[in-house]
Amino acid sequence: MDVTAIIESLNAAQREAVCADEHDQLVLAGAGSGKTRVLVHRIAWLLATAGHSPHDLLAVTFTNKAAREMRLRLEALLGLNLRSMWVGTFHSLSHRLLRTHWKDAQLPQHFQILDSDDQLRVIKRLMKDLGVDDDRFPPKQAQWFINGQKDEGRRAAHVLARGEFERGMAEIYAAYEERCQQQGLVDFAELLLRALELLRDTPLLLQHYQNRFKHILVDEFQDTNTLQYAWLRLLRGPNSCLMAVGDDDQSIYGWRGAKIENIQRFTEDFSGAKTVRLEQNYRSTGTILDAANALISHNTGRLGKELWTDGASGEPISVYAAFNEQDEARFIVDLIQQHVQDGGLRRECAILYRSNAQSRTLEETLLRQQVPYRIYGGQRFYERLEIKNALAYLRLMVNRDDAPAFERVINTPTRGIGTTTLEKLRARARDEGQSLWQAAIEMISGGLLKGRAATSVQAFIQLIERLDEQSLPLPLHEQVELVLNDTQLMDFHAQEKGEKGQARVENLKELITAVRQYDPALPVTMSDDGEINLEGRAALEHFLAEATLDAGDTQAEEDQDAVQMMTLHTAKGLEFPLVFIAGVEEGLFPHQMSIEEGADRLEEERRLCYVGITRAMKKLYLTHAESRRIYGRDNLCRPSRFISELPENLLQEVRLRASISRPVSARPQVRHQGMAQSQAEEVGLRVGQQVSHPKFGAGIILHAEGDGPKTRLLINFDEVGEKWLVLGFAPLTPLD
DNA sequence: GTGGGGAGTTTTTTT
DNA sequence: AACTCCCCAC
């Protein structure tokens, strides 16, 4: 590797961070300032110049995607295989520690990971058993409470409960803690907390890892929560360095426990730390950066940072005031079509929005205009019902005591084991302190179940035992295939009516493919006396953990050139030449809930807007609607305060030009600003509707006043401009 | 065990 | 408006 060439390609600030001496560092990396590049090059520098081995380094990210990308870029840059280097998410690294040191962590060897869905089920079950009133203590809130406490590093015994509600919650937490321990279940927050406690309470282990990791590098540091920060501080040994890379202005996850304070106090906690600011932006035009800088300057308590570019200032930011969300969608889609007509690609365009509900209107319009699009977000592959059913069978094969898995498939597909039987099993398990599996076996052999129930439960037990035995010597994907067929899960979902069943079967097939391609990267632990079996089960266990920790993409990657649609949160870290931010209205963005929650939340919304703006490379559009249907009701909306926080000289109000619009088939219904519904419905008109007039040509309805046939319409005609016409007299034809 | 009907909910998302 | 959850009837 030519280190000199790499270093020369960096700017001064980047170079300072990459080639820094071995001390703690805080790298404040503005949007588009080459953050990942610095991280990757720093590691390369440590390996090539400072003489470290990959074994000495630990790189932590938040998402699996980011971890994969980092490893990939490093391997490409160095031309090395970096399997010995720890690169992963807080959760995957914690998981690794716990699997390796399960005894010291006081966990059963085959502990299972609970995803949030399973966690909620466990909590609901538990509350039923405890007889807790779920009106006063909603299970979702209990889950929120428990995770929140764990994220703060607090065990049930340490909860500071004030008031009846919190005391109740704390009791649920304590019972939940006990049940998870008993069943060998570990939720997401528990992975981190347990790993932290493992290191804290096992000095030799801590020393070992502190000595090993000479350098710890963290990405997206502004998103760390209390627990993650404690984890980092513990793992950084007396002779190690921590490099935290992040951007306080892009901290947008406070609502789920991220502590922006962590980045703000970093240099106090690590007193020798140097701060490097990366402010030169390689992504956006000067105009876009000026707007971003101006917006974020309205926040308080910033560490301070100003983005700049030596590139062109580019086009102004366009602001469009739509009549309603349909008009907004049409405006956006029109411009995208124009972009494509001018030779651009659809994938260069991104539509960003605050909440998922906004995607529907946009989708409908794209669909109608036959513009291919891709939506990010939504249900992920390993979270789908049919996939979770399949995984539950596999989990039972690995660990018979896994109660959530047992409950999920005991009667899926239906095999005549109803609530009554299940309740008996639960009662027995509870009274004897057994797992459901044990309870089932003992009740069968003790003759405590009668008739059909006994037969069915026995058959279920035998099924699992047989599958376990038969699948053991098989390759992983054949194990899964066997399970899908012999449990009749495939048939069960195949006979579900409608497209749903079809899709589920497809997904199950997809699961087999995914397993076939799965490379567990296992250290080969096969013993001489041919215990291939052990190896086969270990592979399955790895696969199951990975499926839970990385729930997969929302949808299979499509090669088609498509418009990119996602929430502002999802867009963080991405960039697009052409960006639309839709629904920039008070109440929606900033969201009403954030406005009500106070200044901190509002500042977070502003950071979210900052994130959105800085996604744009060349051209940015902000759109807002005067009227928007939310929860089935029309609301009048004011433009967002964020728009007025942008310097006016950077903005350009988009004049309505109906001529750029193509006709769309909005359902002919009018319920807007007093326009008479019945009258208008007859002719199929509504505000925002495009119409044609024999004399004035094509135009678009801007306003409606009055009632019945006397309704006055303000129409902006392409050729002759704005005109007031009376509905009853004007020969208007809707353009659909 | 399924399906219909009524009531209640409704930001943002990863692990 | 659209979705989930829960209860009740078949």
Is A184 among the annotated ligand-binding positions?
Answer: no
The CATH architecture to which A401-518 belongs is: Orthogonal Bundle (1.10)
Q: Which nucleotide is nearest to A379 (CA to C1')?
A: B13
User: How many CB atoms lie under 10 A from the CB of residue A697?
Assistant: 14
Q: Which nucleotide is nearest to A189 (CA to C1')?
A: B15
Q: What is the pLDDT, as a whole number, of residue A672?
A: 36
A36: annotated active-site residue: yes
pLDDT band at A658, cuts 50/70/90? very low
Instruction: Work out the angle at residue A329's Cα, subtended by the Cα atoms of residues A585 and A615, and round it to the nearest 5 degrees.
Output: 65
Summarize pLDDT for A615-649 with one digit per residue, the tens. 999 999 999 999 999 988 889 999 999 999 999 99
pLDDT band at A527, cuts 50/70/90? very low
pLDDT band at A695, cuts 50/70/90? confident
Cβ atoms of A260 and A234 within 8 Å: the answer is no
Is residue A523 scored above 50 in pLDDT? no
CA distances for A676 relative to A667, A692, A735, angstroms: 16, 20, 19
Left, alpha or beta for A568 (phi > 0: left; psi -120 to 50: alpha)?
alpha
List the catalytic residue out of A259, A615, A628, A686. A615
Is A240 among the annotated ligand-binding positions?
Answer: no
pLDDT band at A134, cuts 50/70/90? confident
Is residue A289 scored above 80 in pLDDT? yes
List the catalytic residue out of A15, A25, A35, A487. A35
Distance of CA A16 to the CA centre of its chain: 33
Instruction: Work out the angle at residue A485's Cα, subtended by the Cα atoms of residues A479 and A487, and round it to the nearest 5 degrees.
Output: 95
CATH of A317-380+558-654, one of 3.40.50.720, 3.40.50.300, 3.40.50.2300, 3.30.540.10: 3.40.50.300
Q: Stated in angstroms, how far is A591 CA from B12 C1'?
A: 9
* Domain covering A668-734 in this structure, CATH number: 2.40.10
Pull the structure tokens for residue A697. Answer: 């040509």
A201: annotated active-site residue: no
Q: What is the mean pLDDT of residues A317-327?
A: 94
List the catalytic residue out of A36, A63, A181, A470. A36
- Placement of tokens 């700049």 in the chain: A308
On the question of a common fold for A4-102+192-280 and A317-380+558-654, the answer reads yes
Q: Where are the domains of chain A?
A: 4-102+192-280, 112-183, 317-380+558-654, 401-518, 668-734
Q: What is the pLDDT, as a whole number, of residue A79?
A: 87
Reported as type and span, the H/E element at residue A270 is: none
Left, alpha or beta for A686 (phi > 0: left; psi -120 to 50: alpha)?
beta
Contacts of A415 (CB under 8 A, 6+ apart): A456, A459, A460
Is residue A98 scored above 70 in pLDDT? yes
Q: What is the pLDDT, as a whole number, of residue A673?
A: 36
Q: What is the pLDDT, as a whole number, of residue A132?
A: 87
> Cα(A31)–Cα(A575) distance, rounded to whole angstroms?
10
Is A153 among the annotated ligand-binding positions?
Answer: no
* Domain covering A112-183 in this structure, CATH number: 1.10.10.160
Cβ contact A207 with chain B strand, < 7 A: no
Contacts of A362 (CB under 8 A, 6+ apart): A329, A332, A333, A351, A353, A565, A582
Across A131-140, A150-159, A339-348, least confident range = A131-140
Cα Rg of chain A (Å, integer): 29
Is residue A411 scored above 60 in pLDDT? yes
Q: What is the pLDDT, as a whole number, of residue A522?
A: 53
Summarize pLDDT for A535-558 with one digit per residue, the tens. 568 889 999 999 999 988 766 566
Contacts of A303 (CB under 8 A, 6+ apart): A28, A248, A263, A264, A275
Q: List, in sequence order, the alpha helices (H) in A11-115.
A: 12-18, 35-48, 64-78, 90-100
**Per-range mean pLDDT, top range of A146-150, A413-417, A432-436:** A146-150
Is residue A457 scored above 70 in pLDDT? yes
A525: annotated active-site residue: no
Q: What is the pLDDT, as a whole number, of residue A556?
A: 54
Is residue A397 scored above 80 in pLDDT? yes
Cβ atoms of A127 and A176 within 8 Å: the answer is no
Is residue A669 scored above 50 in pLDDT? no
List the catalytic residue out of A24, A151, A187, A219. A219
Is residue A164 scored above 70 in pLDDT? yes
Q: What is the pLDDT, as a whole number, of residue A670?
A: 34
- Placement of tokens 């495939």 in the chain: A490
Q: What is the mean pLDDT of residues A652-657?
A: 76
Q: What is the mean pLDDT of residues A206-219?
A: 97
Task: Provide φ and ψ at A461, rounded to 5°.
Answer: -60, -45
Across A241-250, A351-360, A551-560, least confident range = A551-560
Q: Stated in angstroms, how far is A387 CA from B8 C1'?
A: 29
Is residue A460 scored above 90 in pLDDT? yes
Summarize pLDDT for A485-511 with one digit per residue, the tens. 999 999 888 887 767 788 889 889 999
Is residue A375 scored above 80 in pLDDT? yes
Q: Which nucleotide is nearest to A492 (CA to C1')?
A: B1
Chain A residues 618 to 647 whose Cβ lies within 7 Å of strand C are: 629, 631-632
Is residue A211 scored above 90 in pLDDT? yes
Q: What is the pLDDT, as a whole number, of residue A733?
A: 79
Burial class of residue A366 in the structure, from the number of CB atoms within 10 Å of its CB (0-12 exposed, 13-18 middle, 19+ buried)? buried
Share of chain A above pLDDT 90, in %: 66
Per DSSP, A663 falls in state P
The CATH architecture to which A4-102+192-280 belongs is: 3-Layer(aba) Sandwich (3.40)
Is residue A654 scored above 60 in pLDDT? yes
Share of chain A above pLDDT 70, in %: 90
Summarize pLDDT for A703-735 with one digit per residue, the tens. 666 656 667 777 877 777 667 777 777 878 777
Distance of CA A223 to the CA centre of its chain: 13
Across A339-343, A521-525, A659-663, A702-706, least confident range = A659-663
Going by C-alpha positions, the residue among A631, A714, A624 that lies closest to residue A675 is A714
Across all residues in chain A, what is the average pLDDT?
88
